[in-house]
């Protein structure tokens, strides 16, 4: 009965879409097909809820329906954001925004739709002439003195998805109180309220002139240009995975002085269908397969891949046996911060007021690196808007020199306020050149870090549960973990539980103390007596729940790596069994 009621409710909403003059003919034809289909799964998934404009914006599967990415859901988000901007900056003669987009199907359509809506609301729009990396859009907000910006992207999600990320005047994704304020405004908007008819005189196209300024700023991040001169022939294989990285990353590497950059030709083709990969996610080894094949054929030094909106970087290098190995996001983040700190120290660039940032689910070895080098480190929630918040809070007090997260994002600069694959790829190439200058590889650098700071293995388990049933199951899993806190994991006592939803920390005896964080978040963490850390949270952008497992160990020499890793892999399996994930 409950399911019949849900179908009836979804069908009633769908018939409104099918008959209302507010919706175009193609949308109505798609809705009719959903209604006519005897299998009501598609109808339910498209209409069982409204696609929620959350603190990260919108992300969802493209198509007709209230729970889909289309010009109406995107339009409502833009109308709500326009209303909020006009309320908050009423004293400004001219409010302005930047609009960018990635390579995905419909991204240009959505970007132009948003530009029209902003302009119809009296807001000046700087619209990029073609796809561009997310970090460049963030940079442009600050550079052009805008009050907001959006980018149409679903980052590394599969091709069926698109998304909409909203940014504030500091170039960072929106945080409190503005996030809630925008959400309230968006929720007030009906389709009839959306002003689709644009004012062309308020829309200005931007492109190469911003590229050149941004790339010049990125080049200033180079710590050791002399090293690059010595290793200018470093063999670099790069792939943009059909996305925006192709617009700037090869150009940036050339500006830094690298003369031997080889791109994967099949993946230098702009395509929202991502025809050469199952998923355009540099976290997945499969996405780097073509780049690795090319690297083997030319005996390259490093492989780099950026995701469709060029904010994340995947990387591979050769190990001590000359075999190509993937380097995960935690390891890449460690390598970045290790190099930046070590080489700024060597060149006397440290003033003593520097700080770094990581997210709470990122490896604790970064804390060990910070502590040993007397460096201030801040822990924050997952997502670069929280790293951007730490940068903003420390402006004029401390100097930001780097921050990252396990999900393959790093930011080396403060003139951008989101993770940046353009600067990350350029800096990563420099680190590879620095290592080669010493007769080492990036793998050797990673081994040096483990020997000096301790070994850890990080494993992320994604439990995917799509649709309404999946969302309900994920919610039930989190509720169960809260109601039945684990007392031990993999045979070791849980000595600390952190519940960021209630902002409460429990010791091994169950004593509670407050957690000091800027707001609540649906994240749980458990720490055990043998150094294990497990974090669990529902993804904010995909239908899955994520488990982050970190196993610590010791590594006395580089040759001890395989044994340390094997021990840690066994421990991960025990953890999975303890949590019912096997």
Q: Is 320 exposed, middle or buried (0-12, 13-18, 19+ CB in 10 A)?
A: middle
pLDDT digit string, tens, across residues 104-117: 999 999 999 999 99
Q: For residue 57, tell me if it sits in a domain.
A: no
Q: For residue 447, tell me if it sits in a domain.
A: no
**How many domains does the structure of the chain reveal?**
4
Q: The CATH number of the domain where 531 resides is what?
A: 3.30.310
pLDDT digit string, tens, across residues 106-145: 999 999 999 999 999 999 999 999 999 999 999 999 999 9
Q: For residue 155, tell me if it sits in a domain.
A: yes
What does the DSSP assignment read for 45-71?
Answer: HHHSSPPP-BTTBEEEEBSSSTTSBSH
Residue after which a domain boundary falls, among 161, 186, 206: 206
Q: Are residues 398 and 339 in the same domain?
A: yes
Residue after which a domain boundary falls, among 143, 174, 206: 206
Q: For residue 297, tell me if it sits in a domain.
A: yes
Mean pLDDT of 481-499: 95
Q: Are residues 514 and 557 in the same domain?
A: yes
What does the DSSP assignment read for 534-559?
Answer: EEEEE-SSSSEEEEEEEEEE--SSGG
Q: How far apart are CA 570 and CA 351, in angstroms?
A: 43
pLDDT score for 1: 35
Q: Are residues 253 and 125 in the same domain?
A: no
What is the residue range of 8's domain? 1-48
Region for 308 from its dihedrals, namely left if φ exceeds 0, alpha if ψ lies in -120 to 50, beta otherwise: alpha
**Cα separation values, 2 from 9, 47, 67, 562, Å:** 11, 16, 20, 54
pLDDT score for 219: 98
Is the backbone peptide bond immediately before 177 cis, with ω within 30 degrees of 0? yes
Whether 581 contacts 463, CB under 8 Å: yes
Whether 575 contacts 582, CB under 8 Å: no
Q: For residue 445, tell me if it sits in a domain.
A: no
Q: Are residues 472 and 426 in the same domain?
A: no
On the question of pLDDT at 95 being above 90, the answer is: yes
pLDDT score for 53: 87
pLDDT digit string, tens, across residues 393-423: 999 999 999 999 999 999 999 999 999 999 9
Q: For residue 291, tell me if it sits in a domain.
A: yes
Q: Are residues 180 and 239 in the same domain?
A: no
Q: How far apart are CA 293 and CA 287, in angstroms?
A: 12
On the question of pLDDT at 543 being above 90, the answer is: no
Residue after which a domain boundary falls, among 206, 230, 262: 206
Q: How far apart are CA 383 and CA 538, in angstroms?
A: 13
DSSP state of 173: B
- CA-closest candidate to residue 238, choices 212, 224, 258, 209: 258
Q: For residue 107, tell me if it sits in a domain.
A: yes
Residues identified as active-site: 155
Q: What is the pTM for the complete model shown?
A: 0.94
Q: Are residues 408 and 277 in the same domain?
A: yes
What strand order describes the sheet that includes 399-405?
376-380, 354-359, 399-405, 409-411
Tokens of 358: 């990581």
Flag the least confident range among 50-59, 344-353, 433-442, 491-500.
50-59
On the question of pLDDT at 473 being above 90, the answer is: no
Mean pLDDT, the chain, whole residue set:
95
Q: Are residues 510 and 569 in the same domain?
A: yes
Q: Are residues 248 and 389 in the same domain?
A: yes
Q: The CATH number of the domain where 140 resides is what?
A: 3.40.120.10
Phi, psi (deg, nearest 5) at residue 301: -95, -30
Q: What is the CA radius of gyration of the chain?
A: 24
pLDDT digit string, tens, across residues 40-49: 999 999 999 9
Q: What percent of the chain has pLDDT over 90?
A: 93
pLDDT digit string, tens, across residues 300-329: 999 999 999 999 999 999 999 999 999 999
Q: What percent of the chain has pLDDT over 70?
A: 99
């Amino acid at each position: 009965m409950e399911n019949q009621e849900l179908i009836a409710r979804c069908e009633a909403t769908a018939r409104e879409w099918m008959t209302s003059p507010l919706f175009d003919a193609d949308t109505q034809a798609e809705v009719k097909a959903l209604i006519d289909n005897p299998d009501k799964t598609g109808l339910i998934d498209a209409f069982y809820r409204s696609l929620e404009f959350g603190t990260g914006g919108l992300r969802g599967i493209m198509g007709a329906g209230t729970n889909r990415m289309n010009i109406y859901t995107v339009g409502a988000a833009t109308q709500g954001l326009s209303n909020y901007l006009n309320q908050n900056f009423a004293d400004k003669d001219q409010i302005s925004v930047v609009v960018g987009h990635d390579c995905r199907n419909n991204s240009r359509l959505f970007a132009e739709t948003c530009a029209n809506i902003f302009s119809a609301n009296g807001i000046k729009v700087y619209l990029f002439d073609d796809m561009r990396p997310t970090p460049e859009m963030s940079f442009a907000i600050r550079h052009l003195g805008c009050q907001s910006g959006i980018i149409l992207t679903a980052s590394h999600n599969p091709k069926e998805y698109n998304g909409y990320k909203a940014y504030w005047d500091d170039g960072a994704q929106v945080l409190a109180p503005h996030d809630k304020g925008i959400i309230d405004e968006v929720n007030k908007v009906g389709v009839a309220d959306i002003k689709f008819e644009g004012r062309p005189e308020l829309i200005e196209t931007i492109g190469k002139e911003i590229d050149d300024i941004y790339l010049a700023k990125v080049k200033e991040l180079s710590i050791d240009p002399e090293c690059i001169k010595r290793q200018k022939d470093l063999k670099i294989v790069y792939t943009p995975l059909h996305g925006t990285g192709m617009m700037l990353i090869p150009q940036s590497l050339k500006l830094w002085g690298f003369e031997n950059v080889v791109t994967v030709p099949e993946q230098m083709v702009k395509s929202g269908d991502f025809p050469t990969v199952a998923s355009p996610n540099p976290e997945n080894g499969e996405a780097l397969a073509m780049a690795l094949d090319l690297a083997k054929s030319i005996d390259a030094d490093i492989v780099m891949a950026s995701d469709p909106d060029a904010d994340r970087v995947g990387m591979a290098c050769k190990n001590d046996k000359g075999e190509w190995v993937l380097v995960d996001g935690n390891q890449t983040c460690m390598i970045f911060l290790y190099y930046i700190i070590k080489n700024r120290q060597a060149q006397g660039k440290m003033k003593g007021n520097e700080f770094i940032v990581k997210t709470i689910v990122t490896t604790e070895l970064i804390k060990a690196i910070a502590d040993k080098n007397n460096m201030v480190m801040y822990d924050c929630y997952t997502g670069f808007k929280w790293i951007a918040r730490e940068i903003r809070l420390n402006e004029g007090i401390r100097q930001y020199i780097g921050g990252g997260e396990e999900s393959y994002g790093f930011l080396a600069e403060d003139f951008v306020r989101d993770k940046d694959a353009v600067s990350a790829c350029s800096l990563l190439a420099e680190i590879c050149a620095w290592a080669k200058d010493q007769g080492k590889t990036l793998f050797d650098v990673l081994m040096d870090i483990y020997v000096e700071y301790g070994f850890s293995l990080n494993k992320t388990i994604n439990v995917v549960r799509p649709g309404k049933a999946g969302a309900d199951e994920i919610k039930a899993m989190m509720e169960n973990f809260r109601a039945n806190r684990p007392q031990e994991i993999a045979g070791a006592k849980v000595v600390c539980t952190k519940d960021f939803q209630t902002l409460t920390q429990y010791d091994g005896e169950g004593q509670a103390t407050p957690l000091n964080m800027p707001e609540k978040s649906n994240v749980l963490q458990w720490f055990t007596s043998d150094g294990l850390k497990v974090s669990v949270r529902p993804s904010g952008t995909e239908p899955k729940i994520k488990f982050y497992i970190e196993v610590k160990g010791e590594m006395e020499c580089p040759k001890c790596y395989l044994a340390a890793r094997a021990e840690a892999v066994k421990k991960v399996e025990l953890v999975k069994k303890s949590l019912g994930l096997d």
